């Protein structure tokens, strides 16, 4: 959900993003646990189960399954982008470029998930992504696509790093510190996280942020007092530009009301997670091949030097070969 939660303003923590309880990460899959129980009941040696898992892993991670999974998720991204027109789409490097062909995306951006990992929350001075803010301001909205591996709905780049970026963009223009509500939950039991970024950015102490004066001034002028506000989308959900703007406006209005401040117009930043969270059993019911969540986030395992633009130039041939023999 992108509904805001109230927190009292503080001059110490610039960003505090409430994170409701959500998907548990790092847990044993239900299917694997059922298999463990079955093997225990018949007294089978544990090595049998390990070998079975190894065989299934080899079957699951064929190159064909990766290719077909990417193309399947790219279809969702194409539908999401069409619904959000006229907003431009950016692929967040590196995984996002696998899901958006060059003809669909206006460019790329670079928000690292590691900037949003637990215990390392912060704002990168080397990945300012001014062009993304400018595009959002000029078009009234922006779509950013990325993906993550098995076990989570959203990568940290979408649910933490970019919300931090939006909040710092805001706090750099305001005298008070800012908190950004409304991140989808990924960690069970977590109520909020706070970024180690204290007070309002100081132009003298943060030259990386304010040194590019021309870019920052153009961005401030283009935003015209509006705030960048994240909205999240993942399969099978499809939001139109109007839906995303309505959701962002409602969340912002609720947040400012609780903060006892006048509402401020917002610019939605629609954060699209390309891959669907699903079990292998469910994917087998839907497809003749095994679906792999976040295949683009695991390209080292299968791409053998293939890169996204080359993949999209030969997507038709790759799909035909994958359909022909899903075990290759």
Give the pLDDT confidence of 130-188 residue by residue, as tens digits: 899 999 999 999 999 999 987 789 998 998 899 888 887 766 555 333 444 455 543 33
- Classify 202 as helix, strand or coil: coil
Helix (H) or strand (E) holding 208: helix 207-210
Query: The whole model's pTM is what?
Result: 0.74
Residue 301 confidence (pLDDT): 81
Counting Cα atoms < 13 Å in the Cβ hemisphere of 178 gives 22
Residue range 158-169, pLDDT digits in tens: 988 998 888 877
Q: Which of 33-37, 57-61, 95-99 has the lowest mean pLDDT?
A: 33-37
Residue 44 confidence (pLDDT): 62
Higher-pLDDT residue of 306 and 24 is: 306
Residue 21 confidence (pLDDT): 35
- Classify 262 as helix, strand or coil: coil
Q: Check pLDDT > 60 for residue 52.
A: no
C-beta separation of 128 from 172 below 8 A: no
Q: Check pLDDT > 50 for residue 15.
A: no
Beta-bridge mates of residue 72: none
E-assigned strand segments in the chain? 16-18, 89-92, 107-109, 142-146, 192-194, 227-233, 266-273
Instruction: Give, in order, the Cα–Cα distances in Å from 16 to each of 9, 22, 236, 322.
Output: 10, 18, 29, 45
Q: Which two tokens stand for residue 222?
A: 């283009």
Residue range 276-312, pLDDT digits in tens: 988 767 777 777 888 889 999 888 888 888 999 999 9
């Amino acid at each position: 959900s992108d509904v805001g939660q109230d927190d009292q303003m503080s001059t110490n923590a610039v960003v505090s993003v409430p994170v409701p309880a959500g998907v548990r990460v790092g847990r044993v899959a239900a299917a694997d646990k059922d298999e463990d129980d079955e093997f225990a009941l018949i007294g089978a040696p544990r090595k049998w189960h390990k070998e079975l898992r190894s065989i299934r892993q080899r079957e699951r991670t064929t190159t064909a399954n990766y290719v077909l999974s990417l193309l399947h998720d790219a279809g969702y991204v194409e539908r999401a982008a069409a619904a959000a027109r006229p907003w431009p789409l950016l692929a967040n490097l590196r995984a996002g470029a696998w899901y958006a062909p060059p003809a669909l995306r206006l460019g790329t951006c670079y928000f690292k998930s590691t900037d949003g990992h637990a215990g390392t929350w912060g704002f990168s001075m080397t990945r300012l992504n001014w062009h993304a803010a400018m595009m959002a301001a000029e078009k009234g909205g922006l779509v950013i696509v990325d993906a993550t591996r098995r076990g989570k709905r959203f990568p940290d780049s979408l649910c933490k790093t970019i919300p931090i970026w939006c909040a710092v963009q805001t706090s750099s223009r305001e005298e008070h510190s800012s908190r950004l509500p409304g991140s989808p939950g990924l960690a069970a039991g977590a109520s909020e996280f706070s970024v180690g970024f204290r007070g309002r950015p100081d132009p003298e102490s943060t030259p990386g942020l304010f040194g590019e004066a021309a870019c920052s001034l153009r961005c401030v002028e283009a935003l015209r007092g509006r705030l960048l506000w994240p909205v999240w989308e993942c399969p099978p959900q499809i939001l139109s530009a109007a839906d995303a703007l309505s959701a962002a406006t409602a969340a912002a209005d609720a947040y400012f009301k609780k903060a006892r401040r006048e509402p401020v117009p917002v610019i939605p930043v629609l954060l699209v997670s390309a891959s669907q969270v699903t079990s292998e059993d469910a994917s087998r019911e839907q497809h003749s091949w095994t679906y792999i969540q976040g295949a683009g986030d695991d390209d080292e395992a299968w791409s053998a030097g293939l890169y996204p633009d080359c993949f999209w130039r030969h997507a038709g041939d790759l799909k035909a070969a994958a359909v022909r023999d899903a075990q290759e």
